[in-house]
Structure 1
């Protein structure tokens, strides 16, 4: 990315990566614990990828998502931080696509990892 002078990186992630703005949320912690116990390698990969990106000097955004459903965009999205907002456990693929495209020009979440879900 440096060689091509690309500054913006938008990456999909999960609750396995914790943002400093997160509060305590029992539901997300329980789900992460379950993932960690069942598919430890996947958990470790997600966490390591998030940490690597967060340490970079890029204008990054890690979009933390729940379970995806094959549905078009509804426009009804909750965006924020675990422990500070309530999130459902599903996200329509159409809403994810729109959110990702919007992040190309939206600077509110640069160098942050917001969680998103449908409401």
Structure 2
């Protein structure tokens, strides 16, 4: 199985790439700066480009079986980075007959199974005030996925840490069987499990310790 990977140079992306290669997957990865990719493997193909460039995205998706999208906002990112990038990815998926995408977002993105408690509501309020661009883009990117007709999963997480992998975590919803943090390595582990599973298709599981 060959994975088209977007956002593989970020914190969670690096962990995901490492795990995917260790488990024998072929990975075709888009990178704006290939020199940032420290991993060398015959299973890894790097495409130089930008997720906002439809041609670069198309070259990355071509010949793959599933998409894993882990890119997100950094300082100076365009307002609709995630939405527009996801639209490009979905267009390429339709061109090449790729049916499934797993996308990463945060707990501020609401889902119908959530039962947010006061702290969760407070965090969402703070996000709306402090980083409205990120939250609005996350919501719009979810709408783009819902309207695509594709098999999608949006994996959400709380505060991300760089702590060593624990090998155990909870899969719940905001306010339901959930805590306030997750290590990037364990989050990447769950994302990789979704490559071969349809358990959470058209859902937004929340992963935490």
Common fold: TM-score over 0.5:
yes
Within the candidate set 66, 70, 74, 2:158 is matched to 66
Task: Please state if 1:81 is matched with 2:173.
Answer: yes
TM-score by length of 1: 0.89
2:123 is matched with 31
* Structure 1: 4+ residue segments shifted above 4 A: none
Write the distance in 2 (CA, Å) between the matches of 1:65 and 1:83.
12
Deviation at 1:59, TM superposition (A): 0.9
Larger radius of gyration: 2
What are the ranges of 5 or more consecutive residues in structure 2 without an aligned counterpart?
1-92
Q: Which has the higher contact order (CA 8 A, sep 6+)?
A: 1
CA RMSD of aligned residues (A): 1.3
1:116 is matched with 207
1:81-104 alpha-carbon deviations (Å, 9 max, x no partner): 12332x222111110111111000
Write the distance in 2 (CA, Å) between the matches of 1:55 and 1:25.
29
TM-score by length of 2: 0.53
What are the ranges of 5 or more consecutive residues in structure 1 without an aligned counterpart?
none
Residues 73 and 98, structure 1, Cα contact 8 Å, conserved in 2: no
Q: Which structure shows the bigger proportion of residues in helix conformation?
A: 2
Aligned residues: 117
